[in-house]
Amino acid sequence: MTLALPKDRDVAAFLRDLLDRPVKVGRGKPERVGKRVKGSCGLYRNDDGSLAAAWVCDHGFGSSAGAALSLIAPAAATDMLKTDGMSTGPLNENLSEVFNIGASLFNDGDVHVRFTEMIVDDKLPDDVATSIKGTKRRLDLAIDVGGYAGGQVSVFAF
């Protein structure tokens, strides 16, 4: 069974409900994703361990969603991002939780995927880089999280 790619309205509703704040979603620019991710990449796998989907975002979205999830003030989130980046700390942990709960965007009927890992500013596993490069099934979004900076997101289904 083919994994359904979520629609932009589904991503917007998911984030509004999860973050409990206004979220604006529009078409984003297709980011080129190579063997390394610049930003964060959440990976989703089928029950058999095969790659099912990936959610790639820039640090603007990652820090905004991570901060909004636990009500970290926008100025504090900006300071955290400058000091610690997205590799460690509460913004990292919270974005990982956004990705984890985001598995619900892909689970439909008989299809079940689970969030397995988040990669930040690092090399992607070969199967992930190859799958992203080879798919045309992607959704590119510009997302504004109310009160925060927002950023770019690309969702891939394989």
> What is the residue extent of each domain of the chain?
8-157
Strands 23-27 and 51-57: unpaired
pTM of the model: 0.94
Q: Which pLDDT score, from 0 to 100, does residue 126 have?
A: 95
pLDDT digit string, tens, across residues 17-45: 999 999 999 999 988 899 999 999 999 99
Residues with Cβ within 8 Å of residue 86, at least 6 apart in sequence: 39, 40, 59, 62, 63, 66, 92, 95, 120, 121
Residue 89 has pLDDT above 90, yes or no: no
Instruction: Write down the CATH number for the domain with range 8-157.
Output: 3.40.1550
- From the CB of residue 75, how many other CB atoms can be counted at a distance below 10 Å? 9
Q: pLDDT tier at 73 (50, 70, 90 boundaries)?
A: very high
Residue 154's DSSP bridge partners are: 56, 140
pLDDT above 70: percentage of residues in the chain: 99
Q: pLDDT tier at 116 (50, 70, 90 boundaries)?
A: very high
Q: What is the mean pLDDT of residues 57-62?
A: 95
Q: Which pLDDT score, from 0 to 100, does residue 2 have?
A: 75
Spatial distance between the Cα atoms of 110 and 93, rounded to a whole number of angstroms: 29
